[in-house]
Each structure stands twice: as structure tokens, then as C-alpha cells.
Amino acid sequence: MDKIRTAEEVMQNVKSGDTIMVGGFGLVGAPLTLIDELTRQEVNGLTIISNNLGEAGKGLGILLRQGKIKKAIGSYFTSNREVGDHFNIGKLEIQLMPQGTMSESIRAGGAGIGAYYTKTGVGTELAKGKEVRVINDENYLYEEALKANVALIKAQKADTLGNLIYYKTTRNFNPIMATAADYVIAEVDEIVEPGELLPEEIVTPHLYIDAIVKSKLILTREGVVER
């Protein structure tokens, strides 16, 4: 079964109105080639689940400028000042989540868990409208799982089956997003034959992955460049 595709091919799976998870902590570990291809698509009304919306005019920041994002779910949009500008003129809905709650909600979404309770956020403005439950004399907040139609993730290396390994702190949200979407596209810097990755080192087993795309844009010391 061949999962290797071009970025153009896999984007046929993205439709207007979709919810899309995008890996990365800022640009670190973001699937830059897939994001670039997404900006070329005639789609709109997207809900993006990602820690940030890139930086101003970079990564998901391009998609924001194009007005294709209806709603952003994430934990730290401060790194792109244009997010606030779009919000102020009513062009963007924002759902801000504590980073741990966002991560856990994605993990839950991928594990078939509908919702869970956490202490994080209790008694704060982010708890408004949410159920509080007392468990062992402590207050916990009800949080629902997150799922998506499509996940765009970044790994260092894949085998052709779709087993993945990651590189240092570029791992971040990518392995959990791989579990929580109907169609999961992994952008990788290197593709090897099955057997070349040690079973013990595989972080994301292949059953989560629908398509593999070789990266064209990568983050270097000089910024984002074409390889």
C-alpha cells in the first residue's frame, strides 16, 4: 500500500468548512510544505486547531491574511499580532485554551474519549460557562475532546508504511494530532523502506497515517527555505 503523495494530491481532501489540526509550536515542527499548499487552495470557512497561527505572514499567518480561517482554536496567538486585528474586525472567532487542556483534548479525541475533567482553569475567565465537578474535594472543569476532519503534521522520517519518528522539540503536537483526525497527512524530510526504522524507536505507528508527503519547505537557521 503506497501512501506517498504530492502536496497537491493530498489537499483534495480539504473542503471548505473543514476543521483542520496543524502541528507545530510556532514554526518549529510545523508542516510548512502542507501549509504552503493549503494557502493555494480555493477553500474558506476553515476552523484551525493549532497552538499558534504561525507568525505575521508566515506559516498559518498566510492563511489568516487570505481570510480563509473562520475560527482558530489554540493556546497562544500572541506571537502573530494580526490575529488580534482579524478578531477585532469580527473576521475571526477565537477559542483560547490552556496549552495542557488543548493537548489533552486532542489526545482524548484520538483515544475515543468524549470529555474529561481537569483542575486547570478552574475559577478563571476560561472556565466561564463550563461545568465544575467536585472530585475528592477538589474542583475540576469539564472539557470536551477535540477532533478534526484533516490533520497536517510534521515528522522527521517515515517509512513507506507511514511509521514516523520525530526530531527533538519539533515533535510537540504532531503525534497527538496524528491520532485525532479522519484523514492524517504526514510531511516528512526523509522516506525510508519498512524495516529501516527500529520498531522500538517508532513514535507514531503507521495505522494513524493516511498519506506521506516529502517536505519542500524547511525551517533552518536562516528561516524558512526551499530545500
Q: Does 100 bind other proteins (CB under 8 A)?
A: yes
**Could you count the other beta carbons within 10 Å of the beta carbon of residue 186?**
28
Choosing from 19, 50, 172, 215, the residue that interacts with other proteins (CB under 8 A) is 172
Residue with cell 484520538: 110
Q: Determine the interface stretch with other proteins among 12-20, 41-49, 62-70, 165-173 (rule: CB under 8 A).
A: 165-173
Of the candidate residues 1, 12, 42, 88, the single one contacting other proteins (CB under 8 A): 88
The only residue of 19, 33, 50, 101 in contact with other proteins, by rule CB under 8 A: 101
Closer to other proteins at the Cβ: 14 or 92?
92
The secondary structure element, H or E, covering residue 103 is: helix 99-110
Spell out a b/e string for 153-176, using b for 16 or more CB atoms within 10 Å of the CB, else e. Answer: bbbbbbbbbbbbbbeeebbbbbbb
Site string for other proteins, 106-135 (x = CB under 8 A): xx----------xxxxxxxxx---------
Check binding of 87 to other proteins (CB under 8 A).
yes
Q: Does 168 bind other proteins (CB under 8 A)?
A: yes
Distance CA 155, CA 161 (A): 14
73: Cβ contacts below 8 Å, ≥ 6 apart: 47, 48, 49, 50, 95, 97, 102, 146
Q: Is the dihedral of CA 30, 34, 40, 46 positive or negative?
A: negative
169: contact with other proteins by CB under 8 A: yes
Which residues lie near other proteins (CB under 8 A)? 25-26, 28-29, 51, 75-79, 83-84, 87-88, 94, 96-104, 106-107, 118-126, 139, 166-176, 203, 219-221
